Amino acid sequence: MGSLTKKQKNVLIRIIITAVVFAALLICEHTGIFEPLPQWVQILIFVPPYLLIGYDILIKAAKNISHGQVFDENFLMIIATVAAFCIGEYSEAVAVMLFYQVGELFQSYAVGKARRSITDLMDIVPEYANIENDGVLEQVDPDDVEVGDIIVIKAGERIPLDGIVTEGETMIDTAALTGESVPRRASVGDEVISGCINGSGLIKVRTTKAFEDSTVSRILELVENAGNKKAKVENFITRFAKVYTPFVTACAAVLAIVPPLVTGGDWGEWIRRACIFLVISCPCALVISVPLGFFGGIGAASRAGILVKGGNYLEAVSKLSTVVFDKTGTLTKGEFRVSEVIPVSCTEQELIELAAHAESISDHPIALSIREHYGKPVNSANVTSSEEIAGHGISAEISGKRVLLGNKALMEKFGISSAEHNGAGTAVYIAADGDFMGTIIISDGIKDGSAEAIRGLRAAGVSRCVMLTGDRKSEADAVSKALGLDDHYSQLLPSDKVTIVEKLLAESGGGLAFAGDGINDAPVLARADVGIAMGSMGSDAAIEAADIVIMDDDIRKIPLVMRIASRTMRIVRENIVFALAVKLAVMVLGALGIANMWLAVFADVGVAVLAILNSMRALRA
């Protein structure tokens, strides 16, 4: 059974000793050695193994009763076994407790394995941080590191805090956070996040967050709290068990008392049937296997770099019929590139040079893409003035020329005739001294895997895929056509996106998920049934806003989490139907006197073990 905890080993030792003693007692019982002995002597013989294997159950039941929690499986076990002693079924009383403990041990091991699966997966808590003092490295608690401190991370060490690389170059293993097997390169100026492993070279990092605000702390908090957000079926099972246990206890009491009173039958026989009824009725299989199934599903998703904030969201994902996407950064790369240069009154090189100088002071992604395409240092001395015209573009004086760069509305504002671009991409119009110079087309390429993700969603049962974007209609049309989306909406403000999502929610036959970057789309993520954020390696905004976080931005993991959710729900339903069907059948047989105590033990312990084994399947990603 692999590694056991100290507590599990102690229980195993008790089980082995009791089993050996019990086997010897059974042999003596069947050979008739005990027959001449008085009943009280036989009781004294069987009580020690009973107490050895069941003393902790007796203690738990007493504690629960003292706290007002009478009806649980411990109470049922005691009532059933004590009653068995009262009617002379001593070996059966020991057997029930023995096999119940075997089932409890198996259950404990299975739950521990599920927890270890997630603990190993999320074993990203750094034990220390290296601070350099007078040329000597000192290991300190990550909690003691201040924002802005320089920490040293050697090859093979886990990154303890989020920060920016100030010295060195390395390959970062992000598998614990993203599920990616391929390391990422990090050099001076790059951001690194806690929980990842420094794979190759020594680096120095200036911390940007305190440990309690770091990515690793936020993710661990998310995983720890995931179990608190129960799915509807989990809440149902919890409520069901609270009603079910006292109900079956009352039924057992009626079964033990009413038939012999009415028919004048054998009291011992009916008490025996009531004991069997109680053993069968323990709700362990349901109470343990259902939460374990959801826990396994969350673990499987985590292993793939998908953080699910609770079983309720896993249940909701399994019912999705509509998925709505933000465009930039979700379906597309969010990396603007110059795709076309269309000169009119100058050469292509002159046009891109003019645009690069006009955009020399801007940090806008479009400006950055133009300067990157230019590929040369911009001589800022040539730019004598620059002014941003809100909602239109830029007006700059470059080498004595008044240059206008921006959208079509900017050209119209200054009465400049220009050829309108109606194709895909964002058009940047450029004019100098009132003359139209040409157009530069900026495009955001479709993200690798987007088309595959859409196909995966269709296969997973999603009937409608919709895209929302603030871009122009022509750009939205091109992306929608390329990916085969059902619908798309363009030129939207953030408030418009919320309105459209509410409209789609009303039209949706099932659940609706919204997938976005988690930064600009927080209102829409919150409004959808399930908010899915492209986590950007664990950005704070993504973790806060969404119900599910895709840690490495791989959109193909949305259909993957749907498949995991569907399988988890199927396993949970299988456990519920199987456990209830077997228990109901054997309870009826027990009440009719057909089922014996051994069959009752199978209906309780055996069904619980099989249901737990079935739940463990959910752990596979």
pLDDT of residue 506: 87
Q: Do 16 and 46 reside in the same domain of the chain?
A: yes
Distance CA 495, CA 521 (A): 10
pLDDT beyond 80 at 430: yes
Number of domains in the chain: 3
On whether both 323 and 337 belong to a single domain, the answer is no
As given in the structure block, the two tokens for residue 145 are 């590191």
Query: Do both 381 and 466 map to the same domain?
Result: no
Residues 338 and 323 grouped into a single domain? no
Residues 345 and 401 in one domain: yes
Q: Is 167 helix (H, G, I), strand (E, B) or coil?
A: strand
Residues 412 and 361 in one domain: yes
Stronger pLDDT, 293 or 431, i.e. the higher one: 431
Residues 402 and 353 both lie in one domain: yes
313 and 286 belong to one structural domain: no
- pLDDT for 106-129, tens place per residue? 777 766 665 665 555 555 667 889
d(CA 409, CA 413): 6
Q: What's the pLDDT tens digit per position in 8-17?
A: 888 899 999 9
Cβ–Cβ under 8 Å, residues 143 and 212: yes
Based on the fold, state whether residues 500 and 373 are members of the same structural domain. no
Average pLDDT over residues 460-468: 92
Query: pLDDT category, 131, cuts 50, 70, 90?
Result: very high
Give the pLDDT mean for 405-423. Answer: 85
Note if 326 is an active site residue.
yes
Distance of CA 233 to the CA centre of its chain: 18
In sequence order, the 6+-apart residues with CB closer than 8 A to the CB of 82 are 93
Q: Which residues of 380-397 are buried (b: 16+ CB within 10 A; e: fewer)?
A: eeebeebeebeebbbbbe
**Are residues 431 and 456 both part of a single domain?**
no
Residue 98 carries which side chain, given as an amino acid letter?
L
Least confident span in 150-154, 287-291, 367-371, 473-477: 287-291
- For residue 64, is it within any domain? yes
Here the CATH number for the domain that contains residue 340 is: 3.40.1110.10
Separation between Cα atoms, residue 414 and residue 435, nearest integer Å: 10
Annotated catalytic residue within 326, 444, 547, 553: 326
The domain in which residue 530 lies consists of 307-327+452-551
Position 176 in a domain: no
Sign, CA dihedral 318-324-327-332, equals positive
* pLDDT-derived band at 554, boundaries 50, 70, 90: confident
Q: Between residues 182 and 297, which one has the greater pLDDT?
A: 297
Q: What is the pTM of this model?
A: 0.70
The pair of structure tokens assigned to 484 is 């085969």
Same domain, 111 and 16: yes
- Given CA atoms 542, 547, 552, 554 in this order, what sign does their dihedral have? negative
* Domain membership flag for residue 127: no
Q: What is the pLDDT of residue 561?
A: 94
